[in-house]
């Protein structure tokens, strides 16, 4: 058993709140929640790399890639130095794509 089958398997066994994570993007998470497979989605690494993750998801903006080589380091590098995404960047990227 792998992938979404595991999530659905445990949903049948456990009626409480299920928080899903690891390898789930916003679209996949929304689908799992609409299917009733989970109740919440945790976006750990994506939140580290995107301090404005909720806004990026709302705007369908691209996500910054996490830099795992800095995870669990002894400095702020890789945790607090990711840029936020501005609305003007979204407009510019979408107009460049057309």
pLDDT > 80? residue 17: yes
Q: 1, 9 in Cβ contact below 8 A?
A: yes
- The two beta strands, 40-41 and 19-20, are parallel
- The string of pLDDT tens digits covering residues 24-55 is 999 999 999 999 999 999 998 898 889 899 99
pLDDT > 70? residue 91: no
- The string of pLDDT tens digits covering residues 44-89 is 889 888 989 999 999 888 898 888 888 877 777 777 778 888 755 6
């Amino acid at each position: 058993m792998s992938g979404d089958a595991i999530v659905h398997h445990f949903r049948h066994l456990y009626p409480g709140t299920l928080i899903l994570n690891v390898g789930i993007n916003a679209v996949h998470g929304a689908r799992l929640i609409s299917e009733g497979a989970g109740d919440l989605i945790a976006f750990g690494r994506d939140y580290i790399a995107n301090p404005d993750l909720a806004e990026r998801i709302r705007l369908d903006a691209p996500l910054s890639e996490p830099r795992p080589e800095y995870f669990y380091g002894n400095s702020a590098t890789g945790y607090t130095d990711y840029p936020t995404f501005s609305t003007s960047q979204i407009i510019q990227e979408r107009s460049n794509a057309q």
